Amino acid sequence: MIRELYEKAGILHGHYCPGLAIGVRAGFEANRILEIESRGHHLYCIAEGRACHLDGVQMAFGATMGNGNLELKDMGKSAFNFYDRHSGKSVRLILRVLPDDMSRDEMKIFILEAPFDEVFIRSETSLAAPPDVYKPVGSGKCSVCGESCKEPYLRFLNGALVCLACEEKFR
């Protein structure tokens, strides 16, 4: 099961590395701890570092940049806050300092298969996830460049609707 997720994640990520394994294992364990039964907008993740692990989390937990449920607060850590906004449950997982006497290949296997407590420290989340209130928004047309743009990103400038890029040029 976890090997399969790791295989799939590597297709997205472009290579197989310990970082990818960290994300896959974290997402996999979050599913178990939070007792996730179905995927959807109720799932949310705040990752605390921009690195290879993000693609593993996206594949194993299903909160992605595309579905809007993955957020990055880059503090350079291999730490992840997972939320189920249906049940209200959440958990934070941070990678332990791993033994430094392993090859890269050994490390990948260790991260995927060693007992949970040897890979992660589990704690409560301190960050809040935004509420699950997905609403589709309409689009409008910028009166300067003519490009279509989501309404919340259009601004009034001298009585005309303009996009953020055009607004900047007229400042």
Q: Does 33 bind Zn ion (CB under 5 A)?
A: no
Q: What is the closest distance, in whole angstroms, from the C-beta atom of residue 159 to Zn ion in the complex?
A: 15
Does 161 sit near Zn ion (CB under 5 A)? no
Stretch near Zn ion under the rule CB under 5 A, chosen from 19-27, 38-46, 73-81, 122-130 = 19-27
Minimal distance, residue 16 CB to Zn ion, in Å? 8
User: 36 or 52, CB closer to Zn ion?
Assistant: 52
CB 107 within 8 A of CB 98: yes
Question: What DSSP element (H or E) covers 107?
Answer: helix 104-113
Cα distances (angstroms) measured from residue 166 to each of 46, 152, 162: 32, 15, 6
**Residue 166 lies near Zn ion (rule: CB under 5 A):** yes
Which range, of 44-52, 92-100, 105-113, 118-126, touches Zn ion by CB under 5 A?
44-52
Nearest residue (CB) to Zn ion, 16 versus 42: 16
Q: 125-154 mask for Zn ion (x: CB under 5 A)? A: -----------------x-xx---------
Indicate which single residue of 30, 52, 79, 93 sits in contact with Zn ion (rule: CB under 5 A): 52
Nearest-10 Cα torsion for 16, 107, 105, 59:
-20
CA distance 102 to 136: 48
Burial zone of 52 (CB within 10 Å; 0-12 exposed, 13-18 middle, 19+ buried): buried
HSE, CB side, 13 Å, CA atoms: give it for residue 153.
Answer: 15
Binding site for Zn ion (CB under 5 A): 17, 19, 52, 142, 144-145, 163, 166
